């Protein structure tokens, strides 16, 4: 449970908490790295509509980046300096989950974004509304999941082998995401403190990871991966 | 001179001219191919701000693609079928002008987009206002030229060798763009007819290419390439 659950109407984390700029910065570099991952993965697209779908998702990431850039600038922070600590852990996540097929790309685009959104949206519940609004805006669904759901569920309905491989792939994505999330959060003390305050305590973080696992399973089921 | 110059207030080309859908389609595939060219070229960026600048330009191309997608759909046309004839000539343009350095990427992004905009904006003057508005919207400056101008002009001021190479590069971009524009226009009869009507006649097309050459020289001068 987030620390600002029913027992309190005041957000646990004020807008001027030093971890807020770091949260915006990790989200900002997440958009950049997702942009380039999607643009690169699109080279595996077997059709032009597939290529366009990934380009549109990538463009949506950059629109979110602009929102975070503005939010950091408004806080008097230089975005490139702020993003620097997060470059390596996020690049490492992508390097450790490089898709080798078009279907793996689609599952990663959909499931990877979903895992990140689950995590940050729970944190958002504990943030000052002005900060939470930025976080929710940049994690909002961009309306491209329909394409992914259609492509993946059709493929796995037709091939037991694809289904088995993608189920393993989904499990690996979740594992790597949770591992990397811990590295990311550990980069900066203020951010670690923000996450612990937002979730309640260290036990609550474990509970959060459990909830993320459940939602991941639901998301996989929508893709026919159950 | 465009056919709708001072002697006529009626646009030469009606909104239902069969070349209009083809014009939207070539512009749409141009956005897709520019997206992937920019995303790929960004790998040469020496700094994160450079990488972000190209990603932002690429994202702007996709926003323009959405505008063209909507415009084609409103005309009852299926965008992928409509774009198909233009895939090869536009891919060929990019294959024949693949940058080998970061500075060449920046000059191509700036000067290549400028050449295309000069061409299509002259055509737009002869189109029905509803059609011209779409063309102008997708060719509008996206506000990223400042970054390119700053990077390139600083580099060429510091290195005569870079300057000489980039001046040759700019000339090659213009030559390839004009060659490919002729191939692109020749793909579909209705589009060829639209372009000839918009410019006046075949002599006027030659005059249009002369004007494009002048504007190209001005654009190169802004980059310090004079």
Which CATH number covers residue A159? 1.20.1260.10
Closest CA to A156 of A145, A143, A170, A142: A170
CA distance B52 to chain A (A): 7
Give B-chain residues touching A52 at CB under 8 angstroms.
Answer: 32, 65
Instruction: Judge whether B52 lies within some domain.
Output: yes
| B62·A59 Cβ contact <8 A | yes
pLDDT digits (tens, 9 = 90+) for A166-197: 999 999 999 999 998 888 888 889 999 999 99
Instruction: Judge whether B162 lies within some domain.
Output: yes
Q: Which sign does the torsion angle of CA B171, B32, B142, B101 carry? A: negative
Give A-chain residues touching B83 at CB under 8 angstroms.
Answer: 48
Give B-chain residues touching A51 at CB under 8 angstroms.
Answer: 32, 36
Instruction: Judge whether A6 lies within some domain.
Output: no
B82 CB-near residues (< 8 Å, 6+ apart):
B21, B22, B24, B25, B28, B72
Chain B, residues 33-52, CB within 8 A of chain A, namely 35-36, 39-40, 42, 48-49, 51-52
| B80·A42 Cβ contact <8 A | no
Give A-chain residues touching B85 at CB under 8 angstroms.
Answer: none
Please give the residue range of the domain that contains residue A84.
18-222
Instruction: Judge whether B10 lies within some domain.
Output: no
| B39·A32 Cβ contact <8 A | no
Instruction: Judge whether B13 lies within some domain.
Output: no
B67 has a chain A CB within 8 A of its CB: no
| Cα B208 from Cα B196, distance rounded (Å) | 11
Query: Residues for chain A: how many in total?
Result: 226
pLDDT digits (tens, 9 = 90+) for B42-101: 989 999 999 999 999 999 999 999 999 999 999 999 999 999 999 999 999 999 999 999
- DSSP label at residue A42: G
Half-sphere exposure in the Cβ direction for A102 (13 Å, CA): 17
State how many domains chain B has.
1
Instruction: Judge whether B41 lies within some domain.
Output: yes
Instruction: Enter the ipTM.
Output: 0.86
Mutation target among A34, A35, A37, A83 for the B interface, most CBs of B within 10 A:
A35
Give B-chain residues touching A32 at CB under 8 angstroms.
Answer: 48, 51-52, 55
Beta bridge partners of A13: A127
Instruction: Judge whether B217 lies within some domain.
Output: yes
B12 CB-near residues (< 8 Å, 6+ apart):
B2, B3, B4, B126, B127, B197, B198
Instruction: Judge whether A12 lies within some domain.
Output: no
Q: Which residue is associated with the tokens 């191309």? A: B61
| Cα B156 from Cα B154, distance rounded (Å) | 6
pLDDT digits (tens, 9 = 90+) for B44-53: 999 999 999 9
Two tokens at B129?
Answer: 């206002």
pLDDT digits (tens, 9 = 90+) for A106-160: 999 999 989 999 999 999 999 999 999 999 999 987 777 889 999 999 999 999 9
**Cα-based distances in Å from A209 to B79, B84, B177, B193:** 42, 46, 53, 62
């Amino acid at each position: 449970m987030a620390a600002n659950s029913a027992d309190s109407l005041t957000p646990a984390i004020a807008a001027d908490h030093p971890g807020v700029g770091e949260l915006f910065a990790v989200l900002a570099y997440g958009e950049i790295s997702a942009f380039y991952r999607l643009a690169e993965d699109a080279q595996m697209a077997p059709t032009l509509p597939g290529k366009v779908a990934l380009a549109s998702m990538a463009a949506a990431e950059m629109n979110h980046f602009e929102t975070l850039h503005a939010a950091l600038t408004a806080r008097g922070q230089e975005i490139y300096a702020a993003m620097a600590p997060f470059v390596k852990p996020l690049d490492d996540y992508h390097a450790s989950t490089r898709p080798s097929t078009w279907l793996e790309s689609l599952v990663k685009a959909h499931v990877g974004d979903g895992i990140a959104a689950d995590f940050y949206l729970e944190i958002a519940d504990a943030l000052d509304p002005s900060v939470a609004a930025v976080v929710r805006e940049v994690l909002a669904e961009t309306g491209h999941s329909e394409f992914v759901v259609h492509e993946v569920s059709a493929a796995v309905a037709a091939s037991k082998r694809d289904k088995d491989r993608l189920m393993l792939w989904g499990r690996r994505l979740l594992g790597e995401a949770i591992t990397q999330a811990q590295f990311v959060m550990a980069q900066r003390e203020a951010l670690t403190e923000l996450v612990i305050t937002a979730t309640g305590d260290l036990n609550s973080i474990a509970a959060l990871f459990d909830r993320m696992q459940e939602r991941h399973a639901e998301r996989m089921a929508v893709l026919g991966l159950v």
